[in-house]
Amino acid sequence: MITITITPDETENIQQAIDTCYNRGGGKVVLTPGVYVSGTLQLKDHVTIHLEKGTLLLGSNDITDYPENDSCFIDGIGEKRGRALVIAYNAVDIGISGEGVIDGRGRNFSQKHEAYNIRPFLVRFVNCEKVAVKDVCLRMSAAWCLHIQDSRHVEVENITITNRCNENNDGIDIDGCSDVDIHGCMIDSGDDALCMKSTSNQPCQYIRIRNCRVTSNCSAFKIGTESVGDYKDIEVSDCMFYDVNCCAVKVVPVDGGNVDNLYIHDIEMKNCTGPVFFSTGRRLRKYFTGHRQIPGQIRHVVLERIYAHTVSTEGRILDGKPWGNGKGCVVFSGLPELPIEDVMIRDCTFDMPGGIMELPKDEVPEMGTQYPEFHLFDILPSWGMYLRDVKGMQCENMVMTKRGEDVRPMVKQHNVTGE
């Protein structure tokens, strides 16, 4: 194992240093304080990039500096995506560490840019094993910030993400991975902050997220929408979600994947819309080679010791409907043939905005084949909780309050058992 130190005037030698470490059996490439500009860097077996405090690694402004790679894929609009500033594919024992900054300068690939549809990710690891990302600051990606796909034994520790410079600015995307531990992270994202996906038949399983502080223009924690594979044994705990504009917790497997054994506990939510939205659907979209013919199901969910201060976002329109118009509400909405099963809400407090003075329609539209967003249900017929097609619903020591006068009942339910 060797250590190779790179100074700012040797920027072009970073990839050469990575290759040298790999050829000698692995090691650490150390970037000393200063400013570096680079195109794609490919990590290889047993190599870590270490950015010392005061180091700034900037992504190139030229899309040709981000060539296509073996992990690229065709996205939903037919574009070949997957370019990244830092990439690894089929690698073992790799990582990024240190107190430096990786900045993708994503504003340079705005919607007006000719390469917008193939804009690069910041960091992307695919089909890797034993991955560690620790202490660094990741910011301003042109697309998703940290995407880890079909990988095993992943640790993301004490990193800071600031990613609000372009469309589709996710924070961390865990896609079809096993044995993942995310802890001590601070995330400020323009799109989903902590997002679990399954774009192939690989399950997303044994995931632990803890002690994170998250703000987002979309969701703080989300399962889906890309959801061909299953989700098993996922725990989210001891987190603060604040100033979240599209539902703090969103679980929306709509492409056939099942969710089984989800435990969310000891969460504080401040100024979040939502706050909790579970919905299945029948979109059944195909990703890569994965495709399922029937919808999935959500089972075995525990929400425990959650305190949520819920707000209603006014004046914004998404897909032709007011954003945040559910006016609060904890939502569990399954399918008649596949109800959500075995839900426990224990020792939780939900402080809702209220404020509806005219009863809406009782009939709430099905999610169907739409892209799943909670505002598509329109104004819900209850101010606290809406339940539909749920089997085995239990609530213990749950407190619901509303701040504004509201003519709707606290709870509305249809085809629900076990409450």
| Residue range 11-63, pLDDT digits in tens | 889 999 999 999 999 999 999 999 999 999 999 999 999 999 999 999 999 99
| E strand residue ranges, 109-185 | 121-126, 129-134, 137-139, 146-149, 152-157, 160-163, 172-175, 178-183
Q: Hey, what amino acid is at 259?
A: V
Q: Is residue 270 part of a domain?
A: yes
CA distance 94 to 80: 25
CA distance 266 to 307: 8
For residues 284 and 255, is the Cβ–Cβ distance under 8 A?
yes
CB atoms within 10 A of CB 62: 10
Position 23 scores a pLDDT of 96
> Which secondary-structure segment (H or E) carries 264?
strand 259-272
**Which of 365, 384, 390 is CA-nearest to residue 375?**
365
Q: Is residue 148 part of a domain?
A: no
Q: Is residue 130 part of a domain?
A: no
Give residue 335's domain range. 170-417
Position 318 scores a pLDDT of 65
Q: For residue 324, what is the DSSP state?
A: T
Tokens 């929400």 identify what position? 303
Assess whether 208 and 332 both reside in one domain: yes
Q: Hey, what are 99's tokens? A: 């107190």
Assess whether 81 and 221 both reside in one domain: no
Assess whether 281 and 410 both reside in one domain: yes
Assess whether 93 and 215 both reside in one domain: no
Q: Hey, what amino acid is at 407?
A: V
Would the CA dihedral through 403, 409, 414, 419 be positive or negative?
Answer: positive
Residue ending a domain, among 70, 93, 124, is 124
Position 76 scores a pLDDT of 60
Position 363 scores a pLDDT of 84
Q: Hey, what are 6's tokens? A: 């790179």
For residues 317 and 323, is the Cβ–Cβ distance under 8 A?
yes
Position 323 scores a pLDDT of 62
CA distance 183 to 155: 8
Position 168 scores a pLDDT of 87
Residue ending a domain, among 102, 124, 146, is 124
CA distance 315 to 322: 7
- The CATH number of residue 336's host domain is 2.160.20
Assess whether 398 and 310 both reside in one domain: yes
Assess whether 220 and 86 both reside in one domain: no
**Which of 48, 57, 53, 52 is CA-nearest to residue 28?**
48
Residue ending a domain, among 96, 124, 152, is 124
Q: Which residues of the chain have pLDDT under 70?
A: 75-78, 288-290, 314-327, 419
Q: Is residue 286 part of a domain?
A: yes
Assess whether 117 and 199 both reside in one domain: no
Integer Rg of the chain from CA: 22
Q: Is residue 146 part of a domain?
A: no
**Which of 348, 344, 378 is CA-nearest to residue 361?**
378
Half-sphere exposure of 130 (CA within 13 A, CB side): 9
Residue 416 burial (10 A CB sphere; 0-12, 13-18, 19+): buried
> Which secondary-structure segment (H or E) carries 16?
helix 14-23
Position 368 scores a pLDDT of 77
Assess whether 88 and 205 both reside in one domain: no
Number of domains in the chain: 2
CA distance 94 to 155: 11
For residues 260 and 300, is the Cβ–Cβ distance under 8 A?
yes
341-383 pLDDT per residue, tens: 999 999 999 999 998 898 888 888 887 788 888 878 888 899 9
Assess whether 75 and 184 both reside in one domain: no
Q: Is residue 313 part of a domain?
A: yes
Assess whether 177 and 108 both reside in one domain: no
Assess whether 112 and 255 both reside in one domain: no
CA distance 104 to 106: 5
Half-sphere exposure of 121 (CA within 13 A, CB side): 28
Position 319 scores a pLDDT of 65
- The CATH number of residue 61's host domain is 2.160.20.10
Assess whether 49 and 185 both reside in one domain: no
Q: Is residue 132 part of a domain?
A: no
Q: Is residue 268 part of a domain?
A: yes
